[in-house]
Amino acid sequence: MASPYGAEHQKTKARLLPKAYGTPCPRCKKPMLRTQVLELGHSVDLVDDPTSVGDRIEHRSCNREAGLIAGQKHSRYKPSRDW
């Protein structure tokens, strides 16, 4: 299955990933290790700025949790259905 992310996203991840090993995750501050699954994350969450681009490496679990929390925060302010 092809990645849902474009070539620029993949290039940025490939460029940043080697430098990220051993450094603290920007979200949880725990070290990012070669044995862990890491992803390209956003300093500014996509729900806050849909034009935001991935600019840092994070633990997959931290990245996914942040996305869920941000999405839930924004969904509270929108109607659940159109009337």
| Tens-digit pLDDT string for the chain (83 aa) | 556 678 999 999 999 999 999 999 999 999 999 999 999 999 998 888 888 899 999 999 999 998 888 777 766 555 555 55
Look up the pTM and report it. 0.78
Would you list the domain boundaries of the chain?
22-75
The strand ranges marked E within 5-75 are 38-41, 56-59
User: Can you read off the two tokens belonging to residue 43?
Assistant: 């300093």
CA distance 1 to 67: 22
